[in-house]
Amino acid sequence: MDYKALIEEKDGLRLTGVKNFHPRHVFECGQAFRWDRLDDDGEHYRGIVAGKVLEVKREGEDLFLRHATREDFDQGLRRYFDFGRAYTPLKKRLAQDPCLKEAVKEGWGIRILQQDPFETLISFILSSNNGIPKIRQGIRAISARYGRLISGEGDYAFPTPEELSRATMEELYGLGVGYRAKYIHGATAQVCEAQRLKKESQKRSLTAEEEEAAALDLEELEKLSTEECYERLQKFVGVGPKVADCVMLFSLGKTGAFPVDVWMKKAMDYFYQVEGKSLPRIREAGQERFGTLAGFAQQYLFFYAREKKIRIE
């Protein structure tokens, strides 16, 4: 366990004796897009989780979750922050690898968040060939237009599939998400159709074609093996290898996923001399080397690569 005790206070929840958690490492390793830094040293963030505004602040050995209750923690935040997992043994195993030892030292406070699958799906569809500030802006715009108002300060929850399905492609295009508008529109329709067919299947048997569409239900995807889940996710429009890996790792608990983007390509080349290899080959190399810990290895390497701005000639 990476914390000792929970203490309820008037305006939040305090975790004491917290290990392996640094807000900057958790929120700026490219896995989540709805957290804003409130201080200079990256110990205090404000974000939106499960339709509620939350502040996270590191105070020495404590982690203070403002606006959270013990019920919020038991119901979702514990899982969201991956507090069911002890990171010390995991980091020790990865640090056997001399290259990762350096990366783990740099991003010692990283944890892999378990986020909402639909929000993660749409967020990473938006991420393709896009910059992080622009991704954040797009998610904010989508939430403000289609999500529920959740505070008096203009905070909006990410829309449910039902809510986002009311968006037209033209409206989405107008939010500045570029050519990804049709992907977001299409993938949302696929999610809604899968949900509809799942209910329908309780009343009657589905045709083969309907079965295939129903298989895209996000709750069903979580039950699949890593490779089956990987293949299935890529049936969503706008979802290829990279986005599928991100959705698996950041929302479906598949720790063996190994998202490979331009930064990972640089990092794998820098550390493991895989230059010239195609993206699928680099993914294979990562999974071969790190197995079920591939996702963690990837996050430490990604954070290190961006932090050090490593360049390959």
- What are the residues binding DNA (CB under 7 A)? 29-31, 127-134, 173, 176, 178-179, 183, 234, 236-244, 246, 259-264, 278, 280, 298-299, 302
Q: Which pair of structure tokens corresponds to residue 240?
A: 């290829």
Q: Which is nearer to DNA, 3 or 263 (CB)?
A: 263
- The DSSP output letter for 69 is -
Tell me which DSSP letter residue 116 carries: -
Closer CB to DNA, residue 96 or residue 129? 129
Contact criterion met (CB below 8 Å) for 269 and 73: no
Least gap, CB of 181 to DNA (angstroms): 8
> Nearest distance from residue 306's CB to DNA, in Å?
7
Which residue's CB is nearer to DNA, number 49 or number 264? Answer: 264
Gap between the Cα atoms of 158 and 147, Å rounded: 5
- The CB-of-170 to DNA minimum distance in angstroms stands at 11
**Is the torsion defined by CA of 140, 143, 145, 150 positive or negative?**
negative
- Report d(CA 129, CA 293) in Å as an integer: 26
Task: Compute the least distance from the CB of residue 180 to DNA, in Å.
Answer: 8
Q: What SS3 string covers 29-63?
A: CCCCCCEEECCCCCCEEEEEECCEEEEEEEECCEE
**Nearest distance from C-beta of residue 269 to DNA, angstroms:** 13
Residue 72 vs 245, nearer CB to DNA: 245
Nearer to DNA, 188 or 298 (CB): 298
